[in-house]
Amino acid sequence: MTATREQELLRAFAVLADTLVEDYDVVELLQTLVETCSSLLGASASGVLLADDNGDLDVVASTSEATRLVGVMQLGAAAGPCIESFRTGRVVSVPDIRDVPESWSAFRDKALELEFRAVHAIPMRLRETTIGTLNLLRTEPGELPEDDLVAAKAFADVATIGILHERALAESSQVRAQLQTALDSRVLIEQAKGVVAYRRRISVEEAFTVIRQYARSHQARLSSVAQAIVELKLEL
């Protein structure tokens, strides 16, 4: 029997909740989040920007290299819907990227070059603290359906609460350390993707799939596998 959309969404929430075990991997949680959004919410690609302990954003998870590039372009220009969502703590929807303000031209040009036509940025926020944004990109212009937007907000909330562990903001030093660890891990993962892509003569997306499958099959953390690859202790 084919699962209904509601059943698929419930299963997705269960999968996200399953990642919130003791000493869980933040990068794995966020990668599961973006893949879930792309598979269930009609997004052509998804990504997460996360803030480090200085409040600076970086791309921590994405479903494609194109998504990562769009995020990086916004970071370089310090302008774009994802940056705006992080600054304001509000959802920023752009149903047609061609119509963005001229101050977002760097984002617009890169997004159009990569054939994206719409973007919806959802803040990852708990109370008054915003730690990043969940970003949904689509290759067709148009508004995100209301049901999809509600689900995206709920997914972002689950991930945010998981990362913060519902700690009081006054005890946020551990949170900042965990976020910094996630960002540092992502640097290792990007380096490992390049090593595997070069060795196997495959794309970076395919290289990431190889690394992630290895980590899962060996019940190892993504960051640990990436570090072993970069240090030439593991050859995939």
Q: Which sequence spans correspond to the domains of the chain? A: 5-166, 170-236
d(CA 13, CA 20): 11
d(CA 134, CA 35): 11
For 170-236, give the CATH class.
mainly alpha
How far, in Å, are 77, 125, 133, 139, 176 from residue 71 at the CA level?
10, 19, 10, 16, 21
Q: Three-class SS of residue 49?
A: strand
Tell me whether domains 5-166 and 170-236 share a fold.
no
- Output the pLDDT for position 3: 63
Q: Token pair for residue 61?
A: 């998870």
- Give me the tens of pLDDT residue by residue for the chain, a chain 236 residues long: 456 777 777 777 777 776 666 566 777 778 888 888 888 888 888 888 888 777 788 888 888 777 777 777 777 767 889 889 999 999 999 999 999 899 998 888 888 888 899 999 999 988 888 888 999 989 999 998 888 888 889 888 888 887 776 444 445 556 666 677 777 788 888 899 999 999 999 998 899 999 989 998 998 888 889 999 999 889 88
Tell me the whole-structure pTM to 2 decimals. 0.68
- Output the pLDDT for position 174: 61
Q: Three-class SS of residue 5?
A: helix
* CB-based contact 222:186 (threshold 8 Å): no
Q: Token pair for residue 160?
A: 């945010």
Q: Name the fold adopted by 5-166.
A: Beta-Lactamase (3.30.450)
- Output the pLDDT for position 66: 74
Closest CA to 133 of 80, 173, 170, 96: 80
